Amino acid sequence: MNHTEKKAAAYPASIPFIIANEGAERFSFYGMRSILATFLVAQFFNPSLNPSLQGVAEAKANEITHLFVSLAYALPFVGAIAADWFFGKYRVILYVSVVYCLGHLCLSLFEDDLDKFRLGLLLVAVGAGGIKSCVSANLGDQFNESNKHLMAGMYAWFYFSINSGSVLSTIMIPWVYANYGPSWAFGIPGLLMALATVIFFSGRKKYVKIPPSGINKNNFLFISGYALIHFRRRKKGQPLLDVAKVKFDERKVEDIKSVYNVMAVFAFIPVYWALWDQSLSEWVLQATKLDLTIFSFQVLPEQVQTVNPFFLLLFIPVFNYWIYPFFDKMGIKTSPVRRIGAGLVVTAISFLIIALIQVSVDGGARPSIWWQILAYALLSASEVLISVTGLQYAYTQSPPSMKSTMAALWLMTTAIGNFFTGMVNRNIAQDGVFSGLKGADYYWFFIGLLCAFIILYFFVAGRIKERSYIHSPEDELLVASQSHGQ
């Protein structure tokens, strides 16, 4: 009997395939993204390095980069619906992985054709978005009652594979780009994505495959839509969503109310991502104008972003085991709402440093890259305060039936933030109302915008009601794996 229990408690045979697949896929995504902004400027928008064209060229590159990220983070919602209702997670991951590979192929082959290169970005965004919604949930599907106590450890390895892939790629791919050109620099991530697809397909006979449930109308979208369409049926003093109780499950309607309560906090998160994702585009372009000497070594501008995952892995335990307990002992409760507010302030400080660096660059100086690394350190701290805390807040403030919805809505905040930044850059490139945001003024604009949201947040935060739902240790690691994924 004990022998049977030990066998049942062993790790599922499918796990190595899923974790290896995730590491290779993240390598491919972060690798191509690490050089995207600088490549677009140098290859398409200002190949002659004309200083008078540089501002518009960078705006065009930032526009494409942010809109690409926006699409990649909007599509997980579609991928989740496709997996849960129609095809199942395994098929969605496999099918979009093939699309993903085709996208990388386009990036590698069409380095001189902007339209076809954009097609490649579109395909990569579809692939990355479709996979992101399914892989972490597919990992959880592999466990049952007999071995679920092993799940937390596996999510830790899953999170490790994400960060390992991103760190290795952001060090290696910029070096390949500088020494061997864009074809190899975009081709190697494509090869890693092809490897990820092969690895995933190789484990096909070992996966636990949860069949699709079919269209489930008892969900967030259908219930919210029904309530809005039939708002005239609302009785005096009755919450709007209660209108839907005549057609949908009453418990489900109550669960959806908790989602809207969390969305009061989520409303302030897009502005955070509008700034955060500039660290992988605008900050990279700024680094090309800095003194890139670190301990007597010359680094490439695209490699500097590698410090972010290092700082993140350092700060997560520091905050959880020292900083939060320190303030709690002082009687200052570090609630999720307060952590997020503090994170917004830290983000503003990190961008203040970036703006001052740009002031110096605009004045003809060449500041040390160490100043930007300081900004990265603060930005990573803000990521612990906002990104990790935000998903934990969503998970603890929503009932089990709404956790997948909350994860999708969380990713949507990244999509909205990047879409806004992309549109600002498009307007700059087209000589629109934001065309005056040149040099440091660009960063001052976003700092001002963030400060306005901070003031509004502190006004609203005290009115947000919190309700804690029991959640498991596995949820904590699932949160961590989805919060840094940028």
> Domain check: are 454 and 323 in the same one?
yes
Asked whether residue 276 is assigned to any structural domain, the reply reads: yes
108 strand-pairing partners: none
Q: For the chain, how many structural domains are there in total?
A: 3
- Measure the CA–CA gap between 100 and 193, rounded to whole angstroms: 7
- Measure the CA–CA gap between 90 and 104, rounded to whole angstroms: 21
Question: Quick check: 62 and 282 in contact, CB under 8 A?
Answer: yes
pLDDT of residue 234: 87
> Domain check: are 225 and 327 in the same one?
no
Asked whether residue 213 is assigned to any structural domain, the reply reads: no
Q: Is the pTM of this model over 0.85?
A: yes
- Measure the CA–CA gap between 360 and 454, rounded to whole angstroms: 27
> Domain check: are 143 and 234 in the same one?
no
Question: Quick check: 362 and 440 in contact, CB under 8 A?
Answer: yes
- Measure the CA–CA gap between 423 and 162, rounded to whole angstroms: 29
> Domain check: are 171 and 273 in the same one?
no
| Residue span of the structural domain in which 442 resides | 258-485
Name the domain boundary from 143, 176, 208. Answer: 208
> Domain check: are 302 and 237 in the same one?
no
Start-to-end CA span in the chain (Å) = 45
Question: Quick check: 156 and 146 in contact, CB under 8 A?
Answer: no
Asked whether residue 454 is assigned to any structural domain, the reply reads: yes
Residue type, 260: Y
> Domain check: are 225 and 202 in the same one?
no
> Domain check: are 190 and 323 in the same one?
no
- Measure the CA–CA gap between 294 and 368, rounded to whole angstroms: 9
What's the distance, CA 351 to chain centroid?
19
> Domain check: are 324 and 204 in the same one?
no
> Domain check: are 480 and 373 in the same one?
yes
> Domain check: are 130 and 268 in the same one?
no
pLDDT of residue 5: 46
Question: Quick check: 410 and 390 in contact, CB under 8 A?
Answer: yes
- Measure the CA–CA gap between 475 and 77, rounded to whole angstroms: 19
Asked whether residue 253 is assigned to any structural domain, the reply reads: no
Asked whether residue 3 is assigned to any structural domain, the reply reads: no
CATH classification at residue 202: 1.20.1250.20
Asked whether residue 442 is assigned to any structural domain, the reply reads: yes
- Measure the CA–CA gap between 212 and 85, rounded to whole angstroms: 5
Helix ranges (H only) for 181-306 are 182-202, 220-229, 250-266, 269-276, 282-287
> Domain check: are 82 and 226 in the same one?
no
Asked whether residue 5 is assigned to any structural domain, the reply reads: no
> Domain check: are 148 and 78 in the same one?
yes
Asked whether residue 28 is assigned to any structural domain, the reply reads: yes
Q: Which residues of the chain have pLDDT under 70?
A: 1-9, 152-153, 400-404, 465-486
pLDDT tens digit sequence for 450-468: 999 999 999 888 777 666 5
